Amino acid sequence: MFLIAGLTGNTGAAAARTLLDAGHQVRGLVRDPSRAAGWAARGVELATADLRDTAALTEAMRGVAGAYLLIAAPIQAEDVIGDYITIATSIRAAARAAGLRRLVFLSSEGAHLASGTGAVRALHVAEALLADAAPSVTFLRPSYFQENWRGVFDAARHEGVLPSFHPAEAPPRGMVATRDIGAEAARLLTEATTPPVVEFTSAIQATDADAAAAAAQVLGRPVQVVRPPREAWEGILRGAGLGADYTRLLIGLYDGINSGHLGFSGAAPLRTGPTTLSQTMRDWV
């Protein structure tokens, strides 16, 4: 049996589906079991725990062969990195108390860097805390999510524009689907041996213009990229409901991407997922 967090989210759901389809038993870590009734109907055992609740998390981890865990971005936290430290410390304590044998943890491209990465610095700190949480720990570091476009897809649908914080001259980069990330997490849980870090991207490199073209194909209407000036970013992000600290860190993340500072280490195995942008966007129509 494997413990999967984020069962009602993107990567967790994909990991659970992959494991179930392969005949494995799954225990889903949830905070609200009523939201996971469909998973329970598929035979998933539900464990109720918050990642900050070390005692409950320890019980959820007992008896499993491995766990896939992630920390949801605390977008309203006054101290985002402090929140990651609290949660990672709880995960580490629970894993060790439960005797967890294998941990696969969702991190990010650029998590090997100590600075200049904005929000990804929180994952750099979390990795340091979790490195010895279990005998086998693998940090899964994906590139830019295709699902990052979901928040502005309605602008493409209704206005024919795709807002972007990337510069027009940005080179193609990996934009990976969360379904592929979850499937890779499931594989890492079941492989005989795994490396400490796996860097993960899309088999297809894409630009913002490619994302707009994919949206146009799916929507059947012209879509063009629009680029708000950097001085407008804070107002846009706060208007979208993000807290002040997360907004600051997210702007720092985009600065790290746009400067070319944030990227893969090149020192870890690089794996790829097959899903295209248009395949992902079709789910949003």
Question: How does the average pLDDT of the chain come out, rounded?
Answer: 97
Query: What is the residue whose two structure tokens read 């090149």?
Result: 266
- Residues recorded for the chain: 285
pLDDT of residue 188: 98
pLDDT of residue 28: 98
3-state secondary structure at position 219: helix
Which pair of structure tokens corresponds to residue 217? 């194909």
Show the low-confidence residues of the chain (pLDDT under 50).
none
Which pair of structure tokens corresponds to residue 189? 């849980």
Closest Cα partner for 4 from 22, 21, 25?
25
3-state secondary structure at position 146: helix
124-131, Cβ contacts within 8 angstroms, sequence gap of 24 or more: 125/81, 125/84, 125/85, 125/88, 126/71, 126/84, 126/85, 126/87, 126/88, 129/85, 129/88, 129/89, 129/92, 130/88, 130/91, 130/92, 130/95, 130/103, 130/105, 131/196
Q: Which residues contact 155 (CB under 8 A, 6 or more apart)?
A: 161, 162, 163
Secondary structure letter of residue 147 according to DSSP = G
Rounded to two decimals, the pTM is 0.97
pLDDT of residue 12: 98
Q: 96 with 263: CB under 8 angstroms?
A: no
Convert the pLDDT of each residue in 205-231 to its tens digit: 999 999 999 999 999 999 999 999 999
pLDDT of residue 168: 95
